[in-house]
Amino acid sequence: MRAADFIIQALINEGVDCLFGYPGGAIMPVYDALVGAPLKHVLCRHEQGAALAADGYARASGRVGVCLATSGPGATNLVTGIANAYMDSVPVVAITGQVAKPLIGTDAFQEVDVFGITLPVVKHSFLVRKAEDLPRVFAEAFRIAREGRPGPVLIDIPKDVQLAEFSPTPFLTPVEVCEPLPELDIERARAMIASARQPLICAGGGVVIAQAVAEFRVLAEATGIPVVSTLKGLGCLPAEHPQHLGMLGMHGTRAANYAVQSCDLLLVIGARFDDRATGKLAEFAPHARVIHLDADRAEIGKLRAVEIGISAPLKRVLPRLGMALDIAAWREKCAADKREHGFRYDAPMPGIYAPHFLQELSARAAKQTVIACDVGQHQMWVAQHYGFDHPSRHLTSGGLGTMGYGLPAAIGAQFAEPNTPVILVSGDGSFMMNVQELGTIRRYGLPIKIVLFDNQMLGMVKQWQELFFSERYSEVDLSDNPDFCQMASAFEIPARSIALRAEQAEAIAELLAAPGPMLLHVRIDPKANVWPLVPPGANNATMMEGVES
């Protein structure tokens, strides 16, 4: 059979039902093979949009996301999306066309060494030099993307290889060996948990990656240990759960950050001591012994010395750590901090206060709603004020902080869960970075709802320039933004603009009731900042606060 036809069959065999891409010369044989194939191909309007949509699809579905692009600029346009998946451990397979083998290394038209370019941001790369290798390459690529700590894999296929005919032979992937659990370390961890008087759990994105949310909740409730979350760990415990203290770190809650600085044992589950979570690392959890559970052995002890490190599947380890603990006084102290330092939503302003808007949106949206975020102030407001009940419902670019992530991620999530409400929360800066994907929403009639906070600023950069660069504002003014409602209308997406708190409740109701897509343009004060804020170089107990007026 023709290699291009085999590629489509290999995707089907791996359970792929939807892929995101953009055609071009060097990938044209694969696109020819797509004609009539039982695969849903989503034509995005930019290759970066395709890669980020595959990322959103993978996060929402728990399956491997697939994106497709041609050589040269098509492949390089995927790189940001591939890096985003790498930083957040998202299983993605990126397939790129390459110039024919005789042309490789000749600076041929649209030739680029995407294999070399992506080496730092993939789990593995393949350059397929003969069609007979395709069965092995595709089987291994999907296995590598899924297993252990997931991540992106690149398959680069020259055009003449795609056109070659061959007789494929099945490739059997190695059977994953179920290694025995480290019993001694588990028993030591149990003893350490039992002896703690002020234990704390830090939940990270690894919990949902391991599909261990149920086991995590059983452990938390069995022990009664208070829980803080990283950005990607939000929802491991439902937001309203009494043990949940909120997000820790630079824009974390006071209750969460105070608990970290006071605990005597920190049980870190599927998190990696990211700098935005730890603040000044040398002063992070200064009184705590650390137990670190992570699928990636390389993360254990990488940034923080630990007393016990366990690299094993969380679904198998977490049930072994549950026990009843006598920590009533510590639990009450954490609960009191949560009550005393809870967010307030009564800012005395006629305009819209973004935290209050998001709190109301959270209260009124269906529980299963997927929220996709872009990057900036609105991203932190969502993390602080939207109540997630499961981490797979929160799609956000954590490690790379990719502006423009939200719209394509929302598209990917909607294809992954066509009957689930999907809301994009974006800012005026991020929204313009992949705004062309409104065309994808229109083409496929996706019922995605868009909340667009518009402060006519690059808000997070402006906030840092205000606080740490003596209010020397440099290139953050976006007062020449387009009319976003007119822009939405050009894509046949209904839109409404609001600026007053009195309009908020009705507008949210209209947005949620819309039968198809809708954009709600929300004007907010350009002076509004995200609080609290741990300044750079400080520990997490050193939080700055501002006053909203």
Strands (E) across 358-432 are located at 370-373, 394-395, 422-427
Specify the amino acid at residue 183. E
**Rounded alpha-carbon distances, angstroms, from residue 130 to 11, 121, 133, 168:** 18, 25, 6, 11
CA angle 258, 259, 261 (to 5 degrees): 65
Quickly count: other Cβ atoms within 10 Å of residue 199's Cβ. Answer: 25
Structure tokens at 409: 């991620």
Q: What is the CA 348 to chain-centroid distance, rounded?
A: 34
For 219, the token pair is 């452990």
> Cα(430)–Cα(452) distance, rounded to whole angstroms?
10
> Which of helix, strand or coil describes residue 276?
helix
**Cα distance from N-terminal residue to C-terminal residue, the chain:** 69
530 within 8 A of 251, measured Cβ to Cβ: yes
Largest CA distance in the chain: 72
Using DSSP's 3-state secondary structure scheme, residue 423 falls into strand
Q: What is the DSSP letter of 179?
A: P
Let me know: does 257 contact 534? Beta carbons within 8 Å. Answer: yes
CA-closest candidate to residue 384, choices 344, 347, 422: 344
In angstroms, the CA 207 to CA 215 distance is: 9
The tokens 């209050």 sit on which residue? 356
What are the tokens at 524? 């907010």
Residue with tokens 């819309």: 514
Give catalytic residues, as residue numbers.
47, 109-110, 159, 460
Instruction: Return the residue matching tokens 């950005």.
Output: 231
Q: Measured at the alpha carbon of residue 128, what is the angle toward residues 125 and 131, in degrees to the nearest 5?
A: 145
Q: How many CA atoms lie within 13 A of 408 on its CB side?
A: 36
Instruction: Take residue 166 and report the two structure tokens written for it.
Output: 């061959």
Residue 485: CB atoms within 10 A of its CB come to 17
Q: What residues are paired with 41 via a beta bridge?
A: 19
Q: For residue 138, is it left (φ>0), alpha (ψ between -120 and 50) or beta?
A: alpha
Tokens read off for 403: 């502006």
Distances (CA, A) of 384 to 342, 344, 548: 10, 12, 16
Please classify residue 174 by burial: count the beta carbons closer than 10 Å to its beta carbon, then call 0-12 exposed, 13-18 middle and 19+ buried. exposed
For the chain, the C-alpha Rg in angstroms (whole number) is: 24
